Structure 1
Amino acid sequence: MSLPPPPVYAPPSGPLRIVHQDEALIVLDKPSGLLSVPGRGPAHADSLASRVQAEFPDARIVHRLDMATSGLIVLARGAAMERALSIAFQKRQVEKLYVAVVAGQIAEDSGEIDLPLITDWPNRPRQKVDFELGKPSLTGFEVLARDAARSTSRVALTPHTGRSHQLRVHLLAIGHPILGDDLYGDAASRTAAPRLLLHATALALPHPQSGAMLRLESPPDF
């Protein structure tokens, strides 16, 4: 499969929406098309992290969203909070929920996609299913709605592991690529939406100071 040429990086302008802010962390609603951290070269210097750090110099990224994915993303305030939040992510104490619109009507109402993933080195940054060398990867899904006229499904996705491009590759692997996915979709699904229809819609994590669960939501705009 030949890869489409990479698009020119043209991140959206305008202020970022802060969903939650305190002395320990900042949670933002990242727009689609904005890098989480700076990429290679000056043309890719603009990112969510660099924009936030211009206002909050102590802000540190603790996880990432793909450039094309929108939704909730957490930055720590300072080194101690970064360590605490990183440990919470490593211990899988953070609950994440995504919403996507995919091609086709998924037959099952809910289920799990358990397929090991590995980097497709000749075609980086693509990932692929590899039963011999891939790392264990698990995604739960629940169909929220089916659109017979458009032949699409709206699904809630719960990543139980955090592999690169996991949700996108897992949905592709079961025959339902996410609409607007320039990297993994076929011609029909790529052009079915003006952006990747994948949004980090809910997040729950132990607050790094109090330990109390902080629960946040951001509805998708699609």
Structure 2
Amino acid sequence: MSQVTTRTVSADEADLRLDRWFKRHYPWLGHAKLEKLLRTGQVRIDGGRVKAATRLETGQAIRIPPLGDPPKDDDRPRTPQPAKASPERIAELEAAVLHKDDAVIVLNKPAGLATQGGTGLTEHLDGLLGYLKFGNAERPRLVHRLDKDTSGVLLLARSASAAAKLAEALRKRDAHKLYWALVMGVPEQRMGKIDLPLAKLAGGAGERMVYDEDEGKNAVTLYRTIETAGKRAAWLGMAPLTGRTHQLRVHAAAMGTPIVGDGKYGAAEAFLTGGVSRKLHLHARGIRLAHPDGGKLEVRAPLSPHMAATWDFLGLTLDKSADAWLEE
């Protein structure tokens, strides 16, 4: 490769980290080399400078500088091999399957399992997808992601065409998503819409989003209070109309009611006493969208164990009214 080229991000690559994208397409290119290309502005997206952790969006143009020819051994196509996993982890993944057909797999992602790899992560779902082929020649593809500490519904496509259709439905906001969150305190308004633009905070350790009226990207969330535990905590249904990083967590904190267990955005005030788990209490409860093969796909995920225990502890009641979709 001896000249500058431009590649377009495909639908099934949406939300993939840039460094993971390079590893997929140019496996011989080392991380240090990529960091240098990014530092010097030789790799750009839509003309702008980016970082290795930048997440891609469908249709973006990636500028690729001359990278040289790959070693002969790397000239052949590669089939990603699943990371080594214990029989217990494999069994847990298979048990987490909520729905499976020829085009789609829907998982109830466990809290604590990262969707994709990153600095310091030794295990992530993307590296384990080879265990979820269920007879297919190729492994399923991630269509979107959940934060590491968020549990619940996660879509996987079983082919490139299914991935493209699902990603398009998500991009056009033709999908309805419902999250359940337990927050500290009770919102002043029992239901409403939060419209606060968000931007990534420059510098500092770890990824952090902040409200930024000037530089932030549009971020809108609908919410309603389902039930309260006195004034101590509230169970919210939340529906993101946009898909910004940490959107629900920042928006909940902006109301003065941070999500229980969210020390990043709620600090010490985000934890309940009395033996309640200190894990994040945010769960992707359900999704409804067009199925790649026609019709509608609607799936709901049961609460993760630590959240179910908290619901029992606080006396919160699970019933059908809690599953109502939030729509404008």
The answer to whether TM tops 0.5 is yes
1-structure distance, mates of 2:130, 2:192: 39
Counterpart amino acid of 2:110?
Answer: P
Identify the residue that residue 218 of structure 1 maps to in structure 2: 301
Structure-2 change in CA distance of 1:18 and 1:208 (3 Å):
same
Q: Unaligned 5+ residue runs, structure 2?
A: 1-87, 308-328
156-165 vs 99-108, which deviates more?
99-108
Q: Secondary structure at the match of 2:266?
A: coil
Q: Secondary structure at the match of 2:111?
A: coil
Q: Secondary structure at the match of 1:15?
A: helix
1-structure distance, mates of 2:271, 2:115: 22
1-structure distance, mates of 2:111, 2:266: 17
- The question of 1:120 aligning with 2:204 is answered no
2-structure distance, mates of 1:58, 1:27: 14
Identify the residue that residue 173 of structure 2 maps to in structure 1: 92
Alignment of 1:159-170 (within 5 A): 159-170=240-251
- The question of 1:36 aligning with 2:105 is answered no
Identity %: 36
| CA radius of gyration, larger in | 2
Deviations 1:82-123 (A, max 9, x none): 111111111111110000000111121210110000001223
Counterpart amino acid of 1:215?
Answer: E
- The structure whose residues are more often helix, as a share, is 2
2-structure distance, mates of 1:153, 1:65: 22
- The question of 1:154 aligning with 2:235 is answered yes
**Contact 2:187/2:255 (8 A) holds in 1:** no
- The question of 1:134 aligning with 2:219 is answered no
How many residues align? The count is 207
Which of 251, 254, 277 is equivalent to 1:173?
Answer: 254
TM-score (norm 2): 0.60
Counterpart amino acid of 1:204?
Answer: R
Identify the residue that residue 50 of structure 1 maps to in structure 2: 127
The root-mean-square deviation of aligned C-alpha atoms, in Å, is 1.7
Q: Secondary structure at the match of 1:183?
A: helix
1-structure distance, mates of 2:144, 2:241: 15
TM-score (norm 1): 0.88
Identify the residue that residue 286 of structure 2 maps to in structure 1: 202
Q: Secondary structure at the match of 1:128?
A: strand
Counterpart amino acid of 2:225?
Answer: V
Q: Aligned-pair distance for 1:80?
A: 1.3
- The ranges of structure 1 where at least 4 consecutive aligned residues each deviate by more than 4 angstroms after the TM superposition are none
Q: Secondary structure at the match of 2:249?
A: helix
Q: Aligned-pair distance for 1:74?
A: 0.3
Counterpart amino acid of 1:206?
Answer: A
**Contact 2:132/2:139 (8 A) holds in 1:** no
1-structure distance, mates of 2:142, 2:198: 24
Q: Unaligned 5+ residue runs, structure 1?
A: 1-11
2-structure distance, mates of 1:161, 1:48: 23
Identify the residue that residue 189 of structure 1 maps to in structure 2: 270
- Structure showing greater relative contact order (alpha-carbon pairs closer than 8 Å, 6 or more residues apart): 1
1-structure distance, mates of 2:242, 2:116: 21
Counterpart amino acid of 1:220?
Answer: L
1-structure distance, mates of 2:166, 2:139: 14
2-structure distance, mates of 1:132, 1:93: 28
2-structure distance, mates of 1:28, 1:46: 17
Q: Secondary structure at the match of 1:93?
A: coil
Deviations 1:35-63 (A, max 9, x none): 011223xx524212222323314311010
Q: Aligned-pair distance for 1:191?
A: 6.0
2-structure distance, mates of 1:121, 1:76: 34
